Amino acid sequence: MSTSVESIEAGSAADPSAPVADPTPPNVRRVLLVWDAPNLDMGLGAILGGRPTAAHRPRFDALGRWLLARTADLSGHAADDSVRVEPEATVFTNIAPGSADVVRPWVEALRNVGYAVFAKPKIDDDSDVDADMLRHIDLRADGGGLAGLIVASADGQAFREPLEAVAQSGTPVQVLGFREHASWALASELLDFIDLEDIPGVFREPLPRVSLDSLPVEGSWLQPFRPLSALLTSRSSGGAGYNPAAAAGIRPGVI
């Protein structure tokens, strides 16, 4: 039976014990992409200072092509030829009351390019999709069903420990997002962080991020990519004598 955006908006939250999708067949391993729409929408809005225009909305077709390439790469390294490695692209989102007409074209566009969408009514502050995303990751990871995991979110409180546990099991884990909001992923020695703007074609135009090439006349703060506490655990920082210019390949007197 199909489920409409309107029925999700009007309905109650799903049973938290119910799985979000069918189990993975035993001869298939997934390269799973989980997109945390509420969290990334908030992060993108913070960078833009408002709602994104068409030029600054993520292109999910470009992200899908990147996922296919990532899947092909992991498939080429698979040890068992009898196991198929397949991509699975998922988007998790909330449907606020009265927003069905606005959200419907976006949901249908996602489904049209191959994404499964988990939509949940936004009834109150507790009806977010964090638990649903983690439940789906657990479902796919059960019995070694993951060939790779990619989570697009800046929510380190919800994701850091679960993702590091998956990585410790031997599954490669990547975090997608915006470096301004991902210090937890950048600081982790188990997670691989990729800035969304570094994936070809995801944005039609460069995001208006503050950089040394485009400083406002009045100046601007440039926030750290990592917390200072990362120096206590980083294997590559070089201690108190760490020279960021040398690490970037800049020789004294040469710019």
10 falls within a domain: no
Q: What's the domain range around 102? A: 23-217
Whether the pLDDT of residue 82 is over 70: the answer is: yes
- Residue 117's nearest CA partner among 126, 125, 106, 127 is 106
Residues 177 and 193 sit within 8 Å (Cβ to Cβ): yes
Predicted pLDDT at 144 = 79
- Whether 240 is covered by a domain: the verdict is no
In the chain, the percentage of residues whose pLDDT exceeds 90 is: 55
Residue 13 located in a structural domain? no
User: pLDDT digit string (tens) for 185-229?
Assistant: 999 999 999 999 999 999 999 998 876 666 778 887 776 656 788
Distance in angstroms (rounded) separating the CA atoms of residues 69 and 148 = 12
Determine, yes or no, domain membership for 79.
Answer: yes
Whether residue 57 has pLDDT greater than 90: yes
Q: Is residue 248 part of a domain?
A: no
The CATH number linked to 41 is: 3.40.50.1010
For the stretch 105-135, what's the b/e string if a residue is b when 16 or more beta carbons lie within 10 angstroms of its beta carbon? ebbeebeeeebebbbbbbeeeeebbbebbbb
**Confidence (pLDDT) at 62:** 97
The tens digit of pLDDT for each residue in 84-131 reads 999 999 999 999 889 899 999 999 999 999 999 999 998 887 778 999
| Range name among 61-65, 148-152, 213-217 with the lowest pLDDT average | 213-217
Contact present, 152 and 176 (Cβ < 8 Å): yes
Per-residue pLDDT, 165 = 96
Question: Which pLDDT does position 55 carry in this prediction?
Answer: 86
Higher pLDDT, 81 or 31: 31
Residues 129, 135, 138: CA angle, nearest 5 degrees = 145
With CA atoms as reference, report the closest residue to 68 among 88, 54, 48, 50.
88
In a domain, 7, yes or no: no
How many domains does the structure of the chain reveal?
1
Burial of residue 88 (number of CB atoms within 10 Å: 0-12, 13-18, 19+): buried
Q: How far, in Å, CA of 243 to CA of 222, rounded?
A: 18
The reported pLDDT for the residue numbered 229 is 80
- In the predicted model, is pLDDT for residue 14 greater than 60? no
Q: What local confidence, expressed as pLDDT, does residue 239 receive?
A: 45
Q: Is residue 157 part of a domain?
A: yes
* Lookup: tokens for 117: 């969408």
Residues 203 and 218: their CA atoms lie apart, in Å, by 28
SS3 percent helix, strand, coil of the chain, rounded to 5, is 40, 15, 45
Mean pLDDT of the chain: 82
Q: Is there a domain that residue 234 lies in?
A: no
The pLDDT of residue 233 is 66
pLDDT band at 163 (very low <50, low <70, confident <90, very high): very high
